[in-house]
Chain A
Amino acid sequence: MTYRAEVFVTLKPVVNDPAGLTIKGGLHALGFDSVTDVRSGKYLVVTLDAADEGEARARVEAMTGQLLANAVIEDYRIELRSEVSSVQGGGS
């Protein structure tokens, strides 16, 4: 089976996020005064083959812990689904 994992990597709440603060400033400059906080992060989509959902999840957890997120500063959340469609892209 082919699975698609969406990995959301975010800075831990205790870690300062200069990019998020700058984006917040930009939103305020545009008049979005109601914005009280912006946190930035990374969004990764990993497509992989695995025997079942349990194996797919275990692999994505392992690769996220090892490389995709840095536990010193980051938290992550994984959303996994099986790829239903085998028709992708549609030619060259």
Chain B
Amino acid sequence: MNTGIVVFPGTWSDRDCAHAVGEVLGQPGRYVDHREENLDDLDLVILPGGFSYGDYLRCGAIARFAPVMEAVTDFANRGGLVLGICNGFQILQEARLLPGALLRNASCEFRCEWVNLRVEQSESAFTLDCRPGQVLRIPISHGEGNFFADLQTLDAIERNGQVVFRYCAPDGRVTAESNPNGSLSNIAGIANARGNVFGMMPHPERACEDLLGGSDGLAVFRSAIHALARVAV
């Protein structure tokens, strides 16, 4: 799985992603500069977390117009796998590659903690390795992860099975207490209708080694490897 990790000014999780995919999973890859315009060599493009362009105006609003985003959009439209994590999720929404928006956390606080995610959709390219209802433990680290979409959009993504992860209690129950940021319907991660573009607020790259507190995040990257192998067969 040749993986491209996009680096904007202000991106901070690029090296964690490279460590998870390259060192832990042994996959080839490279960093992609925000000015690049050709992603043809890649199987998976990751937009990592951080504070691209200082999060000025709105999170992801400026990054969305970086030259590389035109290439990311073409890549996605051709069916390439795109994973947006945290700020990357915000950028994908600003680019209209994913529906909805991420508002300031309901608490108005930056939240940095481990959360539990229930797998709602195990057919997604990024959750193929998971069972429906499985609970993954992965950390969040954000101030603006409060998922919002108008009722019509929310209804559509629920019906289409585009909701991939929901914040939940350790036993899998979706409760108000387990929602760390006020997201509508406890939504933590969604895919586009085609299923090849996926955004999530929690950081799977920070949960890839037991030494660091857990390895549930590996399922996201392993699923992508298996989804690509499935296409190649």
Interface residues, chain A, with chain B CB atoms under 8 Å away: 14-16, 18-19, 22, 42, 67-68, 70, 72-73
Cross-chain contact B100 with A70 (CB below 8 angstroms): no
Cross-chain contact B108 with A19 (CB below 8 angstroms): yes
Given A70-B94, A72-B101, are A18 and B146 neighbors across the interface (CB < 8 Å)?
yes
Cross-chain contact B101 with A73 (CB below 8 angstroms): yes
Interface residues, chain B, with chain A CB atoms under 8 Å away: 57-58, 61-62, 65, 93-94, 100-101, 103-108, 146, 148-150, 182
For A22, the chain B residues whose CB sits under 8 A away are: 108
Cross-chain contact B57 with A67 (CB below 8 angstroms): yes
Cross-chain contact A18 with B104 (CB below 8 angstroms): yes
For B149, the chain A residues whose CB sits under 8 A away are: 72
* Minimal Cβ-Cβ distance residue in B for A40: B104
Total cross-chain contacts (CB, 8 A): 38
Alpha-carbon distance A22/B108, docked complex (angstroms): 8
Given A70-B101, A72-B100, A73-B148, are A16 and B106 neighbors across the interface (CB < 8 Å)?
yes
Alpha-carbon distance A91/B128, docked complex (angstroms): 64
For B104, the chain A residues whose CB sits under 8 A away are: 18-19
Can you list 17 contacts pairing A with B, beta carbon distance less than 8 Å? A15-B103, A15-B148, A16-B103, A16-B106, A16-B146, A16-B148, A18-B103, A18-B106, A18-B108, A19-B104, A19-B108, A42-B57, A67-B57, A67-B65, A68-B57, A70-B94, A72-B93
Given A68-B57, A72-B101, are A14 and B108 neighbors across the interface (CB < 8 Å)?
no
For A16, the chain B residues whose CB sits under 8 A away are: 103, 106, 146, 148, 182
For B65, the chain A residues whose CB sits under 8 A away are: 67
Alpha-carbon distance A72/B100, docked complex (angstroms): 7
